[in-house]
Amino acid sequence: MVVCNLEGVSQRYRTMLSTALTLGRELGLHRLNESEQNLPSNVGASNQVEAEIGRRVWWYLIATECPSAAVYTAHPAHMAVNKPLHLDDDDLDTGRLEQEKPTSQPTSMSYFLQRLRLAEICRISADRGLTNPQSSESLNQSNVIYIDAELKRLSESLPLFFLLDNNKRQISDHSQNSTIIVQRYFINSLIHTQRCKLHLPYLVQGLIGPEYVYSRHSCLASARMIVQTELQLEQEDIPFTRTRFRHTGVLYGLLMANVVFLLDGCSLPSASVGLASRRCNEAVHAMRILEQAKPHSQIAARFWCSIKRILSNSRGVEPPVPSHMMEDSMTDAPARNLGAQGHCLNSMNWSGFDAQSVPTEPLTYLTTINEPFSNNSEALSADWNYLFGGLDWQGF
């Protein structure tokens, strides 16, 4: 995972993961059930602990491979190994190995078992996409709805200490543990990233096709939850808050949220001042967090530059806004040029923002990017490949 966090899903990372899976098979980790059945009944505790560690290693590799690609190499039909037990590391001894703890009680395996559930949903998603490559739109949409239901079920069935809802989480005595805080951030971010990715192809189509309205709303809702998860973590006084952008999986969710808000800004028809203001604020939060990630990740820095180019290209070639003109560009110019959309920028809620950290140039263009796509038909006929072809997804 160190290589993945440094380079993204690079060729070296994929090679290392493939090598690890191959070594796991050679060690027999994929058929531990068969090995255990052949052991005598008086097998020692060390063998049981060794088998449990083997299960953890194998399923860690499975949970790592499935979400990272549409094609996986470890098929469930080709393995015979039970899931790891819900136990702490200290419980791996003779007296406690059979006493699995309830999921309501946090252990060192709580987060991993939830991540494993997410990986299995990703595998089902890959299976359904590969089984019917020429399937109709209605069949594709039914598959999307099915996977979405699975993701929602996972999100709603998380243990209390992993819930984002503060009111529900207060019931748990473990929710303020620093390890639990980090794990809660990871699992919620990963779930909503997958849900956002699932519905993204139908975001624009949801403006005119009633069958895609649910996907549009779900995509936007998950993008908002990704940002909300980031904002919630920022309020925690733990060291991880300052280093989280080095984790590629989380960074991918942040990039996905920015793409969603950018697409939404391009395709949204003329709206009321209130709606436009809300959409601007959503994009502001996402872009401000992305800018914070720039010093910690080359991937984030490249993606940030890509977004700035897209926002500039959507309006044609215009000179960048100098930093010393930030105040004027954020008030007079947008309001003078865009009416309601300009008012959206002027009335934006900047509470809690550091003026020096706000991405000035992109925000100026953000309020104007909707202008070329002022109605649904133009949005759907726009050359999205040309507009978004500049996004630098290298590393993903």
**DSSP-assigned states of every residue in 364-396:** HHHTTTTGGG-SHHHHHHS-HHHHHTT---TT-
Domain boundary assignment for the chain: 1-85, 112-238, 243-396
Least confident interval from 60-64, 78-82, 162-166, 273-277 = 273-277
Contact 204, 263 (CB under 8 A): yes
The rounded Cα 341 to chain-centroid distance in angstroms is 29
3-state secondary structure string across 41-86: CCCCHHHHHHHHHHHHHHHHHHHHHHHHCCCCCCCHHHCCCCCCCC
Nearest-angstrom CA–CA distance, 286 and 230: 9
Average pLDDT (209-229) is 92
What is the radius of gyration, based on Cα positions, of the chain? Answer: 24
Half-sphere exposure of residue 360, counting CA atoms within 13 Å on the CB side?
17
Burial of 232 (0-12, 13-18, 19+ CB in 10 A): middle
Q: Is the pLDDT of residue 143 over 70?
A: yes
pLDDT given at position 181: 92
Whose tokens are 């939850």? That residue is 225
Nearest-angstrom CA–CA distance, 328 and 306: 25
Residues in CB range of 76: below 8 A, 6 or more apart: 123
For Cα atoms 328, 332, 338, give the angle at the middle one, nearest 5 degrees: 135
Q: Please state the pTM of the whole predicted model.
A: 0.78
Confidence of residue 135 (pLDDT cuts 50, 70, 90): low
Nearest-angstrom CA–CA distance, 104 and 108: 13
pLDDT given at position 69: 60
Alpha-helical segments (H) within 97-212: 110-131, 137-156, 166-169, 178-199
Whose CA is closest to 329, among 289, 362, 369? 362
Whose CA is closest to 215, among 157, 146, 161? 146
Whose CA is closest to 217, among 264, 180, 174? 264
pLDDT given at position 326: 34
Q: Write down how long the chain is.
A: 396
Confidence of residue 136 (pLDDT cuts 50, 70, 90): low
Give percent above pLDDT 90 in the chain: 28
Least confident interval from 183-192, 357-366, 387-396 = 357-366
Burial of 93 (0-12, 13-18, 19+ CB in 10 A): exposed
What's 107's DSSP letter? -
Contact 248, 395 (CB under 8 A): yes
- Summarised one tens digit per residue, pLDDT across range 248-279 is 888 889 989 998 988 887 766 555 556 667 77
Contact 244, 185 (CB under 8 A): yes
Token digits for 217?
Answer: 């709303």
Whose tokens are 């920022």? That residue is 234
Q: Is the pLDDT of residue 172 over 90?
A: no
Q: At what angle do helices 137-156 and 110-131 cross, to 10 degrees?
A: 170
pLDDT given at position 130: 44
Whose CA is closest to 294, among 233, 226, 362, 220? 362
